[in-house]
A and B are shown apart, each in its own frame.
Chain A
Amino acid sequence: MANRLCGKIVNVAQGQIHAHVQILWKEIPLSVIITRASCEDMHLSVGDTISVLVKGTDIMLAKSFSGMLSARNRAMGIVRQIIQGDVLSKVFVESQGDMLHAFITNTSLKEMDIREGDEVTAIVKSTELILSKEA
């Protein structure tokens, strides 16, 4: 849960079960799906400052990305550091001055030939994001 992005709520649309919360994280719009119940419990409204939490294991990385993809949240960034484990690698990506990290398999790291200094896109589905309202 180490990725924590601070933004402002720009739109809240409630469905019967879900709520779609749109957040502006600096220049990048983020789309978050939570339950309507959570949205009501947290009293989310436009203009609120909010933290968006995303687990490193839920972020995928794309390189030279083109074409269409259903995942709503994408952030371009530069790979700043790679820590290789025995199966997974932790890749640190700097985007809009914030440092994100993604866990990807060593196989992907090798196949995609990801190196420090590369430009990559961090991608997350809207349903994977968690909102946290700080006191």
Chain B
Amino acid sequence: MLNISLQKTWKEFGLDVSFEIPRGKVTALFGPSGAGKSSILRIISGLETADGGIILHGREVWFDDKQKIHLPPQRRSIGFVFQDFALFPHLTVERNVAYGIKEKRRLNELKDLISLVGLSGYERYYPAQLSGGQKQRVALIRALARKPDLLLLDEPLSALDWETRRQLQEDLKKIIKQFHVTTLYVTHDVTEVYKLADYVVVLESGRVVKQGTPEEVFLGKKLSTRIQIVGKVVSIESDPIMAVVTVLHDDQYFKTLIDTEEVGRLNLKIGNDVVIGAKSSDVILFKVLTQS
């Protein structure tokens, strides 16, 4: 468990937050640009110092302004993945990943690590020869190679195209689970929160405004429908009366039929995150044919 309480004031912006990051779980730090998400990551990693507060990693104090403790970044067991990959351009994939491994005896794990992110055969490639998705896989495995206690991901998928992002979300989920590493994931994408996070901390203008499971935070308990599915609008086809809105959730496409006027009222656009609500009495169940 990581306990975080931070205050920092810049010229035109103030940060004052308190939250916990549960051990072995993925916590999403969610909010619009300028909410202070990346600043929090930089302070946790030790790249930046807060004016006040405390960062406790179990019993280890990483930062405490009162005790004047500020552990340098290299003494905090952290893996950091940035939006812009931050790979060493002059090093091959293999050497980029090896950079994260401190103990020489663990270098034989390199092959397995690289294969884990589906990059076997690319060991001798340089970052410039890789696609955006491949670069981010290298960055991720380099961060995990040192077996950190905490993995910080700063919008790691936002520089990628939509399809690559979708694939990488799946891979990320699998890999984080495999390493069972406590993760703090910065994003402004609701679907990503749903796909990857166990908990979400919502940030606005440097303050925590909500926290809980994604369901608690985004859906609340406001609607009586038992079926509530969060997804992304991928297409809208309208006639003057009705519109077919296709929503993608976990690789499944849901075609919903709504009033065309509603599309305008909600200002619904492709890429928007939406909740599909349906009464549980409105579904039909079929048993799949292969079962007895």
> Which A residues fall within an 8 A CB radius of B?
1-2, 32-35, 37-39, 41-43, 56-57, 83, 85-86, 88-90, 101, 103, 127-128, 130-135
Judge whether B222 is part of the interface by a CB distance below 8 angstroms: yes
Stretch touching chain A among B63-71, B77-85, B89-97, B276-284: B276-284
- Contact present for A130 and B279 (CB under 8 Å): yes
- A-B residue pairs in contact (CB < 8 Å), sample of 12: A1-B259, A38-B225, A41-B221, A42-B224, A85-B241, A90-B259, A101-B259, A127-B279, A130-B277, A130-B279, A133-B222, A135-B222
Task: Knowing A131-B223, A133-B222, say if A2 contacts B259 (CB, 8 Å).
Answer: yes
- Contact present for B241 and A130 (CB under 8 Å): no
Give the shortest distance, in Å, between B283 (CB) and chain A (any CB).
13
Complex Cα gap A128–B281 (Å): 9
- Contact present for A1 and B224 (CB under 8 Å): no
Chain B: interface residue total (CB-CB under 8 A): 21
Residues of B near A41 (CB, < 8 A) are 221
- Contact present for B258 and A1 (CB under 8 Å): yes
Judge whether B262 is part of the interface by a CB distance below 8 angstroms: yes
Task: Knowing A83-B241, A128-B279, say if A42 contacts B257 (CB, 8 Å).
Answer: no
Give the shortest distance, in Å, between B210 (CB) and chain A (any CB).
12
A84 to B, closest residue via Cβ: B241
- Contact present for A134 and B224 (CB under 8 Å): no
Give the shortest distance, in Å, between A37 (CB) and chain B (any CB).
7
A50 to B, closest residue via Cβ: B224
Give the shortest distance, in Å, between B91 (CB) and chain A (any CB).
51
Complex Cα gap A35–B224 (Å): 8
Pick the contact of B242: A1, A38, A85 (CB < 8 A): A85
A32 to B, closest residue via Cβ: B224
- Contact present for A90 and B241 (CB under 8 Å): yes
Task: Knowing A1-B258, A127-B279, say if A132 contacts B240 (CB, 8 Å).
Answer: no
Pick the contact of A130: B225, B258, B262 (CB < 8 A): B225
Residues of A near B280 (CB, < 8 A) are 35
Number of A-B contacts defined by CB within 8 Å: 63
Among A56, A86, A128, chain B packs the most CB atoms within 10 A around the CB of A56
Residues of B near A86 (CB, < 8 A) are 239
Task: Knowing A1-B262, A57-B257, A130-B277, say if A103 contacts B241 (CB, 8 Å).
Answer: yes
Complex Cα gap A99–B281 (Å): 27
- Contact present for A56 and B224 (CB under 8 Å): no
11 further A-B pairs in the complex, CB-CB below 8 A; given A42-B222, A130-B223:
A1-B277, A2-B265, A35-B226, A42-B223, A43-B221, A83-B241, A85-B239, A86-B239, A103-B242, A133-B222, A134-B222
Pick the contact of B224: A89, A90, A101, A131 (CB < 8 A): A131
Residues of A near B262 (CB, < 8 A) are 1-2
- Contact present for B223 and A132 (CB under 8 Å): yes
- Contact present for A83 and B225 (CB under 8 Å): no
Residues of A near B58 (CB, < 8 A) are none
B257 to A, closest residue via Cβ: A57
Give the shortest distance, in Å, between A58 (CB) and chain B (any CB).
9
Judge whether B121 is part of the interface by a CB distance below 8 angstroms: no
Pick the contact of B220: A56, A83, A131, A135 (CB < 8 A): A135
Judge whether B261 is part of the interface by a CB distance below 8 angstroms: yes
B241 to A, closest residue via Cβ: A85
Pick the contact of A83: B221, B240, B257 (CB < 8 A): B240
B240 to A, closest residue via Cβ: A85
Complex Cα gap A86–B222 (Å): 36
B281 to A, closest residue via Cβ: A127
Residues of A near B281 (CB, < 8 A) are 33, 127
Residues of B near A101 (CB, < 8 A) are 259
- Contact present for A56 and B259 (CB under 8 Å): yes
Complex Cα gap A84–B220 (Å): 37
Residues of B near A128 (CB, < 8 A) are 279
Residues of B near A39 (CB, < 8 A) are 224
Residues of A near B242 (CB, < 8 A) are 85, 88, 103
